[in-house]
Structure 1
Amino acid sequence: MPVWILVGGVSALLTVLIGAFAAHGLEARLDEKALGWIDTAVRYQMFHALALIALGILGRQPGRGLDITIAGYAFTVGTLLFCGLLYTMALGAPRFFGAIVPVGGLAFMVGWIFFIRHAWRMLG
């Protein structure tokens, strides 16, 4: 599924852009807590961008199955909810968005479960 390679590549590029902008353009404007949220979001986004690229590579193998697709969507939703909401909160969005952030973390976990399930099936 080359689409996950594309989505992962775009996400990785955005991670670098956001991280650089935060380090060089926002460092003096945001407090330590907001910068910490951005740091956490950048880290998680890059991990999952690389995971999406791996899914794209795995999806090119025979028998890729539904697991790859579910994992890809889950990683993408996790990135949007977990990382996206941390970015917006750091930039001044209402703190109640923090109540939704764990849903993004749950989406990441779902993605990893299906990633592992696919890997397990490849072994057997």
Structure 2
Amino acid sequence: MHKLFLIISSISGILAVSLGAFGAHALKDKLTKAGTLETYQTAVQYHFYHTLALLAIALLLTKVQSQWLNYAGYSMTFGILIFSGSLYVLCFTGMKWLGAITPIGGLLFIAGWVCLLMTALKSL
């Protein structure tokens, strides 16, 4: 399982850096609606923070076999897709209804951190 999360975190890191640079350079003048650039920056920040958490999970899985770590990895992965993904799409399309699913991604991030806590309490 560690290899899967290492691959996902690597791809996610590539995307986070690329989308961050794209936003800073190519979109700065295009994301002109109030709050849109800030929303995009939030998407990139959370994308990157949780990519690093996913990398840590992949590395921990090389030392500790824990179902909680697997749950954490999946939670972080789907949190990135739903939280940051919905914000990216919202910024590009203006589809406001996507704001309603963004909190689901946030809940997945929280669940991932709780699963990391459970790993520490149960396995380490």
TM-score normalized by the length of structure 1: 0.93
CA contact (8 A) 1:34 1:91 kept: no
Residues 1-124 of structure 1: matches in 2 within 5 Å? Answer: 1-31=2-32, 32-62=34-64, 64-123=65-124
Distance 2:114 2:98 in 1: 25
CA drift at 1:68: 1.0
Question: Percent of counterpart pairs with the same letter?
Answer: 35
- Runs (4+) off by over 6 Å: none
One-letter identity of the residue aligned with 1:70: Y
CA drift at 1:65: 1.6
CA drift at 1:121: 2.2
Q: Which runs of 5+ in 1 are unaligned?
A: none
CA contact (8 A) 2:82 2:104 kept: yes
* Alignment: residue pair count: 122
Alignment RMSD (CA, Å):
1.1
Deviations 1:79-108 (A, max 9, x none): 011000000111124101101100000000
CA drift at 1:28: 0.8
CA contact (8 A) 2:40 2:91 kept: yes
